[in-house]
Chain A
């Protein structure tokens, strides 16, 4: 059985380059803190837009971070669950996807004609090199169970592929859902 990693991330990329600049995201995240617009104990916003392909603008919460993320040359919404992950992988993935979807949709609502996320594909990151080294073996070990769990969660077929070849990188998977978008069935 696949063990839940210490930290788990889900990122949805934007479909196209937006007119909105990272600078414009900072006040949005500050307002989210005031309005409790997304779940979690929201603490602060930090600006890393000066770092090439970095985490961009990050909304720090106690149990998770929400980043308007610039990594891999792809702008997206990256949700990283740092604490209090459920013990079973299905619940952990369900939680991370639902929080990432919630945040991405909330961000789209801020600029409906400009920010459009690709909900047909997500990157899932295992931030835990002790249990998940980025190797082909790790991928083979988790592929079947992950595919089954994700298919159950989204009631659709999913395909998985390793996101990075470099064994030093985080173990991360590109996950594509067949015939539509990620849509969590409660």
Chain B
């Protein structure tokens, strides 16, 4: 039977294809119980294959907790994560940039492997939910064929690199950061120096200091475009921020370098990654983000470490070569830029134009924001939008951190027509970027950590606000609301004017869903400051709380007074007093409605909360690398079964080199990929020193590697293939044993 692998073999870049094949082999090994569940979990996460709520096989149905008896029984894809349980696939879209063709493939995948919905995340990814793990290799192949990877979309890795959606077309930017985000994405993907983190690492680019778009101050690494006049020449570079982050304990990023020249950007980033890998926390994942390391060392000491590390970073042509390609990063509008021609405008156009249209710096062009409620759009809308993109803007599509879609390079003369076309496919809603355009994480809908329904609350607030949006004063219309289902801040509640995050309180013998109210966060100035938590209110009172807050703000605000300033002036005590009437908890008997969450008719429970995979598994670098050797050896076995002895030999040999490399990298991180170097390093560090020696077989297993490295035998036949695969197995076991003897612990 034909497979996607066969159909797409000429369209998938070999490196991407190999990574997917390795992952598929790891899946098979896990199913057979031959790969540790924690190691597989981290390998899976690094492919963007994430767990979902109820994947531990239990769900509270509103009356009692019931077992979900998945067909594959006890087989797990990670600790307490059942194989058959539906999961989420995160798909990296670097700086949110999409082509029409990529949008079509994403739509196909949503149709066939998910529930027909694409979800835009706050980090410009696309997520598909309710995906079965068995479908993920083909899903990845279909993406790879159009240049999209899921590699390192989750897990302890460099996540999707984000950037302003207006980069390249903005009136206020210093320069277009898009090509830099693109270059860094390519440089860091699968880089050896980003494989040994204790937790995830998020990078963002911003073109200016004033607007929100890039949010560089809340990122692990934030790059803010700058220029400097040096010796009469205008040089491009970045202010480098490090150690920002939201999460339970938000940290504002610190300035690592006031001005880093563009040719120094990649080596500096590499040095930061190496310091994080070397000194970052590995055991306690609650303190493993780089923000904790920066706080622990202090920015001055952290800077000193980075400067020292920079001296050890090996030379790499790519560090500066990318700057030669920056000029090639251009945009191809579908049409010439023409002004609006005075023809009659469609109904609703004016309101849409006010909120959804941004006049580009390039005369005659605009960027338009498509407001996707809760970040969701259908596969059918995806196909139709691809048509609209081709007709008006070409491949100039971006996803925004506010969970919307932005079409850039629309000729102004086309605005009425594109508005009509968007209305026809349900994407012509006005009010993008207003109080109606609420950001929400998945919350209890699908997230294992969700405490309250962020999406349910958002849908409710949105419905109520849309009804009266035209009556709201401008001061309220422009406010930002952001909602998270728990304290982990995926909905970015800290940087909203009005933020909410889910928690719960007890009333009598029942739990009641609540939201903590967080006020006065700053979205502008790249998430310039974080809000104050002022008290938790029952979920069902949040709409009334919002109304009370906004009405009082409008009534009491001074001329031009921002919401942040008003909150600050009013003070936490007064605000708390304002919320007090909403905090009264009725009994279950008096008001059972309070004991169900928004968008959920079940009596509320926190029994469904599981262990999150957000942090990934803390697995040693050796464990991750040796698992690649094991899966490659498995591929050799499959080739043997297929009668392809040449391929079986190649894979077995590669597996031995990968195993040797895994051990060498425990002593020399920079060994690289060259087979000769790896084997030489392995010989001098482990064979000549006898560290690899087995108690009885001595250096026999290592010599299997040396023998194959010297060359192939005259005849590669079935017997030979059998033999080298067996030898590979013994060598891998030998490496495992040696690593345990030498380093003590494998899984951290």
Asked if residues B115 and A55 are in contact (CB atoms below 8 Å), the reply is: yes
Asked if residues A27 and B601 are in contact (CB atoms below 8 Å), the reply is: yes
Tell me if A44 counts as interface (CB < 8 A to partner B).
Answer: yes
Point out the residues of chain B lying under 8 angstroms from A33, CB to CB.
Answer: 61
Tell me if A186 counts as interface (CB < 8 A to partner B).
Answer: no
Asked if residues A34 and B63 are in contact (CB atoms below 8 Å), the reply is: yes
Tell me if A92 counts as interface (CB < 8 A to partner B).
Answer: no
Beyond A52-B381, A55-B115, A65-B115, 19 additional contacts (C-beta under 8 Å) are A27-B601, A30-B62, A30-B602, A41-B68, A43-B86, A44-B59, A46-B115, A47-B455, A47-B456, A47-B599, A48-B117, A53-B378, A62-B84, A71-B380, A82-B132, A127-B112, A129-B112, A166-B383, A168-B383
Point out the residues of chain B lying under 8 angstroms from A46, CB to CB.
Answer: 115, 129-130, 445-446
Tell me if A105 counts as interface (CB < 8 A to partner B).
Answer: no
User: CA–CA, A17 to B361, complex, Å?
Assistant: 47
Chain A to chain B: the 5 pairs with minimum beta-carbon distance, closest first: A52-B426, A27-B601, A50-B373, A54-B378, A34-B61
Point out the residues of chain A lying under 8 angstroms from B7, CB to CB.
Answer: 130
User: CA–CA, A51 to B382, complex, Å?
Assistant: 12
Point out the residues of chain A lying under 8 angstroms from B3, CB to CB.
Answer: 130
Which of B62, B68, B425, B426 contacts A34, CB < 8 Å? B62
Q: Can you list 10 A-B contacts (CB < 8 A)?
A: A34-B61, A41-B68, A46-B130, A47-B456, A52-B381, A54-B116, A54-B117, A55-B115, A71-B378, A168-B383
User: CA–CA, A129 to B107, complex, Å?
Assistant: 12
Given contacts A27-B601, A43-B54, A47-B459, contact A55 B116 (CB under 8 A): yes
User: CA–CA, A27 to B61, complex, Å?
Assistant: 11
Tell me if B4 counts as interface (CB < 8 A to partner A).
Answer: yes
Closest to A28 in B: B601
Interface hits, B416-463 → A, CB 8 Å? 425-426, 445-446, 455-456, 459, 462
Point out the residues of chain B lying under 8 angstroms from A83, CB to CB.
Answer: 132
Which of B107, B377, B455 contacts A168, CB < 8 Å? B107
Shortest beta-carbon distance, A57 to chain B, in Å?
A: 10
Point out the residues of chain B lying under 8 angstroms from A52, CB to CB.
Answer: 378, 381, 425-426
**Per-position binary interface string of chain B over residues 82-119, scored 1 when its CB falls under 8 Å from any chain A CB and 0 otherwise:** 00101000000000000000001001100110011100
Point out the residues of chain B lying under 8 angstroms from A34, CB to CB.
Answer: 61-63
Asked if residues A60 and B599 are in contact (CB atoms below 8 Å), the reply is: no
Shortest beta-carbon distance, B370 to chain A, in Å?
A: 12
Point out the residues of chain B lying under 8 angstroms from A174, CB to CB.
Answer: none
Point out the residues of chain A lying under 8 angstroms from B116, CB to CB.
Answer: 54-55, 71
Point out the residues of chain B lying under 8 angstroms from A94, CB to CB.
Answer: none
User: CA–CA, A53 to B376, complex, Å?
Assistant: 12
Closest to B426 in A: A52
Asked if residues A58 and B70 are in contact (CB atoms below 8 Å), the reply is: no
**Per-position binary interface string of chain B over residues 64-85, scored 1 when its CB falls under 8 Å from any chain A CB and 0 otherwise:** 0000111100000000000010
Which of A44, A50, A62, A67 contacts B53, CB < 8 Å? A44
Closest to B386 in A: A168
Asked if residues A129 and B600 are in contact (CB atoms below 8 Å), the reply is: no
Closest to A35 in B: B61
Point out the residues of chain B lying under 8 angstroms from A84, CB to CB.
Answer: 71
Given contacts A50-B459, A53-B426, contact A170 B111 (CB under 8 A): yes
Interface hits, A142-179 → B, CB 8 Å? 166, 168-170
**Per-position binary interface string of chain B over residues 587-601, scored 1 when its CB falls under 8 Å from any chain A CB and 0 otherwise:** 000000000000111
Which of B62, B376, B383 contacts A48, CB < 8 Å? B376
Shortest beta-carbon distance, B385 to chain A, in Å?
A: 12
Asked if residues B602 and A62 are in contact (CB atoms below 8 Å), the reply is: no
Q: Please give the number of chain A residues whose Cβ is less than 8 angstroms from any Cβ of chain B in the complex.
A: 39
Point out the residues of chain B lying under 8 angstroms from A128, CB to CB.
Answer: 112
Tell me if A7 counts as interface (CB < 8 A to partner B).
Answer: yes
Which of B68, B69, B376 contacts A51, CB < 8 Å? B376
Band of interface residues on B: 35 or more
Point out the residues of chain B lying under 8 angstroms from A130, CB to CB.
Answer: 2-4, 7
Closest to A6 in B: B112
Q: Chain A binding site: helix, strand, loop or mixed by DSSP?
A: loop
Tell me if B374 counts as interface (CB < 8 A to partner A).
Answer: yes
Point out the residues of chain A lying under 8 angstroms from B62, CB to CB.
Answer: 30, 34
Shortest beta-carbon distance, A51 to chain B, in Å?
A: 5
Shortest beta-carbon distance, B402 to chain A, in Å?
A: 16
Asked if residues B376 and A60 are in contact (CB atoms below 8 Å), the reply is: no
Asked if residues A168 and B59 are in contact (CB atoms below 8 Å), the reply is: no
Asked if residues B70 and A41 are in contact (CB atoms below 8 Å), the reply is: yes
Tell me if A38 counts as interface (CB < 8 A to partner B).
Answer: no
Asked if residues B378 and A51 are in contact (CB atoms below 8 Å), the reply is: yes
Tell me if A106 counts as interface (CB < 8 A to partner B).
Answer: no
Point out the residues of chain B lying under 8 angstroms from A82, CB to CB.
Answer: 132
Closest to B53 in A: A44
Which of B53, B377, B383, B601 contacts A30, CB < 8 Å? B601
Interface hits, B173-198 → A, CB 8 Å? none
Point out the residues of chain A lying under 8 angstroms from B71, CB to CB.
Answer: 62, 84
User: CA–CA, A7 to B2, complex, Å?
Assistant: 16
Chain B CB within 10 A, most for which of A26, A50, A58, A131? A50
User: CA–CA, A29 to B599, complex, Å?
Assistant: 12
User: CA–CA, A15 to B7, complex, Å?
Assistant: 42
Shortest beta-carbon distance, A84 to chain B, in Å?
A: 8
**Per-position binary interface string of chain A over residues 11-43, scored 1 when its CB falls under 8 Å from any chain B CB and 0 otherwise:** 000000000000000110011011000000101
Point out the residues of chain A lying under 8 angstroms from B446, CB to CB.
Answer: 46
Which of B2, B115, B374, B599 contacts A58, CB < 8 Å? B115
Closest to B55 in A: A43
Shortest beta-carbon distance, B427 to chain A, in Å?
A: 8
Which of B61, B376, B601 contacts A54, CB < 8 Å? B376
User: CA–CA, A53 to B62, complex, Å?
Assistant: 29
User: CA–CA, A52 to B459, complex, Å?
Assistant: 14
Shortest beta-carbon distance, A10 to chain B, in Å?
A: 15
Chain B CB within 10 A, most for which of A44, A51, A84? A44
Closest to A26 in B: B601
Interface hits, B1-46 → A, CB 8 Å? 2-4, 7
User: CA–CA, A65 to B71, complex, Å?
Assistant: 16
**Per-position binary interface string of chain A over residues 119-143, scored 1 when its CB falls under 8 Å from any chain B CB and 0 otherwise:** 0000000011111000000000000
Point out the residues of chain B lying under 8 angstroms from A26, CB to CB.
Answer: 599-601
Shortest beta-carbon distance, B502 to chain A, in Å?
A: 16
Shortest beta-carbon distance, A6 to chain B, in Å?
A: 7
User: CA–CA, A65 to B68, complex, Å?
Assistant: 15
Point out the residues of chain B lying under 8 angstroms from A31, CB to CB.
Answer: 601
User: CA–CA, A122 to B13, complex, Å?
Assistant: 42
Closest to A169 in B: B383
Point out the residues of chain B lying under 8 angstroms from A55, CB to CB.
Answer: 115-117, 378
Point out the residues of chain A lying under 8 angstroms from B69, CB to CB.
Answer: 41
Asked if residues A30 and B115 are in contact (CB atoms below 8 Å), the reply is: no
Asked if residues B378 and A50 are in contact (CB atoms below 8 Å), the reply is: no
User: CA–CA, A7 to B112, complex, Å?
Assistant: 7
User: CA–CA, A90 to B257, complex, Å?
Assistant: 67
Shortest beta-carbon distance, B549 to chain A, in Å?
A: 24
Shortest beta-carbon distance, B92 to chain A, in Å?
A: 23
Shortest beta-carbon distance, B725 to chain A, in Å?
A: 31
**Per-position binary interface string of chain B over residues 240-264, scored 1 when its CB falls under 8 Å from any chain A CB and 0 otherwise:** 0000000000000000000000000
